[in-house]
Structure 1
Amino acid sequence: MSVASANLNIMIKAARIAGRSLVRDFGEVENLQVSMKGAGDFVSRADMKAEQLIRETLTEARPNYGWLGEETGGSAGTDPTRRWIVDPLDGTSNFLHGLPHWAVSIALEHKGEIVAAVVYDPVKDEMFTSEKGSGAWLNDSRIRTSGRRNMIEMLFATGVPFGGRADLPETLQDLARLMPVCAGVRRWGAASLDLAYVAAGRLDGYWERNLHAWDVAAGILLVREAGGLIDGLEEDTNPVTSGDLICANEPVFANFAKIIRD
């Protein structure tokens, strides 16, 4: 981003610090004994350490802001209008399995609205950033949602529920309706990057259920500032609070939303 605010610069700094720590730990994952308990414990520690680094960096600069983090929960600040919303490691299962697709996600909320966002992929050194009214950026380049208009040419992403979650049947029904009319559906395993990829035009749309605020807060602003449309699966609901969302480029949003909401 050519000119960033002080807050966004602090967020970028925090994401890079956490990213360096996570990349070092990621290099150790493949050396761990293949044991879910051993590897899972290791990744949990890496996750917690990254969140601590982010919180220290942000709090040092803005001690009065509130906080909502995946690992440490929420706490009010002396400024009740602002809070950080942080996922220190989005894509934990990918990280655990040595898959190089995961990210650090940091959003700043002001009076209930996301006003600044960072999604950082340290492995690829891709820094997605946005501020309200200033567009969306990947490193130093402006990004926009795709201009595709024909569903059959479009690539979408979602999250497929795992571990016997109750929403699996709904997602399978979504896929049955969507896949015959599009170019494909991807399941990358990191919601923040799915949203960033929609903003960058790499994906044409994305939907998912049962997400948390820290999964989507930063990515929502990226999509909007890149010219995309985003809504809850229930029309006119806030995805940050509902945990359900659908987004796409403007030309296809209505058609895509109808297929998923049917």
Structure 2
Amino acid sequence: MDLRQLASKVEEVCRTAGNHALREQLNPSVTKTSRERGGISVGHYASDIDSHLQQYVMGALNEIEPHKSYWDELAGEVRPGDRFWCVGNVDGSINFARNLSEWTVTVSLFEANDMGEIYPILGVVHAPALDLTYMAARGQGAIRVRRLLTTEKRERVIPSTWPHLSDSVLCFGMSYFRNESRRALATVNDLTGKPADIKRIGPVSLDLCKVADGTYDAYFEPSLHSWDIPAVAAGAIVLWEAQGHLSRWDGSLINWHEANDIVATNAVIDDELMPYLAARSDNPTVSNPSNDERIARTQEMPPIYE
């Protein structure tokens, strides 16, 4: 099965899982609990939906196209060509708990290249309460599926072409952790008065897709952790296939095995935006590269995207 066909199958799985999750959103069983993350106890909105969702999606994916393992089970030797499904929890758990519409179900597929490096090559981001889906596969472009009443509209997405911070529309994300949120808000403060608007809606998967389709000119968030990888990976494919840019705040490539300060852009606003992010990067020793240097680094990522 080629990647385009596989993406369509995964979309069907996400839609079915999303319908179950949407019904669960109306259930008052969603509670606020405490969870250990990074050695710190943080508030977390949770219900049984995460485990039910993962169990259903993993079973359905295994029937469509079984692979060696899943992303969170990676261990031991990885051989070139090995593929790994990556299934997330509900992305946007607070939105889900508070009966907001901006939450998603995400699935991505990782593949190991000839050097044993693993990158996502397929992604689906489904927002059940919005009846909106984004999907993309390597070399196939990015698609947005919108459903209104009985009609369905499938369209290729492309980023905005707005090149300046002035009158741009940006979006940012915040963290469970106080110091990380302070860094996000400090960056927003640095940018005050330059964009037309800076929005905070979330979740990360949907924010990435909204850069891909031109809703936002750029999105940034500090310190996305290992538990964010499923959402970031699914949105990243949509962004890449739409010809947007994704990197860390210092201009380096995303590391799929550690925390990242991420920034997604329309690929033309970078020169004005990146210095603000580099100044607040968690890796300040790395100099802020020019746009040409960032493009060159992306071209060095074999053999996924130019």
TM-score, normalised via structure 1 length? 0.87
CA displacement at 1:43 relative to structure 2: 4.0
Residue type of the partner of 2:267? E
Counterpart residue number, 1:125: 131
**What pairs up with 1:30-41 in 2 under 5 angstroms?**
36=32
**Contact 1:206/1:246, CA 8 A, preserved across alignment:** yes
CA displacement at 1:104 relative to structure 2: 0.7
CA displacement at 1:103 relative to structure 2: 0.4
Q: 1:243-262 CA deviation, whole Å, 9 max, x = no partner?
A: 32111112102221112112
Residue type of the partner of 2:168? M
SS in 2 for 1:105: strand
Match for 1:152 among 166, 170, 173?
166
Match for 1:191 among 204, 209, 213?
204
Instruction: Give the gaps of 5 or more residues in structure 1.
Output: none
Match for 1:229 among 239, 245, 257?
245
CA distance in 2, matches of 1:244, 1:8: 28
**Contact 1:18/1:88, CA 8 A, preserved across alignment:** no
SS in 1 for 2:202: coil
**What pairs up with 1:36-47 in 2 under 5 angstroms?**
36=32, 43-47=46-50
Residue type of the partner of 2:63? E
Instruction: Give the gaps of 5 or more residues in structure 2.
Output: 34-42, 113-117, 146-153, 280-306
Counterpart residue number, 1:167: 180
Q: Report the RMSD for the aligned CA atoms in angstroms.
A: 2.4
CA distance in 2, matches of 1:182, 1:145: 17
**Contact 1:66/1:76, CA 8 A, preserved across alignment:** no
Residue type of the partner of 2:251? E
Residue type of the partner of 1:157? C
CA distance in 2, matches of 1:232, 1:213: 14
CA distance in 1, matches of 2:231, 2:73: 15
Are positions 1:107 and 2:108 aligned together? yes
Match for 2:156 among 134, 137, 142?
142
Change (3 A) 1:42 1:24: farther
**What pairs up with 1:23-62 in 2 under 5 angstroms?**
23-29=22-28, 36=32, 43-62=46-65
Are positions 1:10 and 2:12 aligned together? no
Paired residues, number: 250
Q: 1:5-48 CA deviation, whole Å, 9 max, x = no partner?
A: 3321231122012101101111224xx6x9635xx999420121
Residue type of the partner of 2:105? V
Q: Which has the higher helix share?
A: 1
SS in 2 for 1:145: coil
CA distance in 2, matches of 1:222, 1:77: 29
Counterpart residue number, 1:256: 273
SS in 2 for 1:5: helix
CA displacement at 1:78 relative to structure 2: 10
Are positions 1:93 and 2:94 aligned together? yes
**Contact 2:174/2:222, CA 8 A, preserved across alignment:** no
**Contact 1:213/1:243, CA 8 A, preserved across alignment:** no
TM-score, normalised via structure 2 length? 0.75
Q: 1:70-118 CA deviation, whole Å, 9 max, x = no partner?
A: xxx4256998521112213100111111111100111111111211110
Counterpart residue number, 1:208: 221
Percent pairwise identity = 24
SS in 2 for 1:130: strand
Range moving further from structure 2, 164-173 or 213-222:
164-173
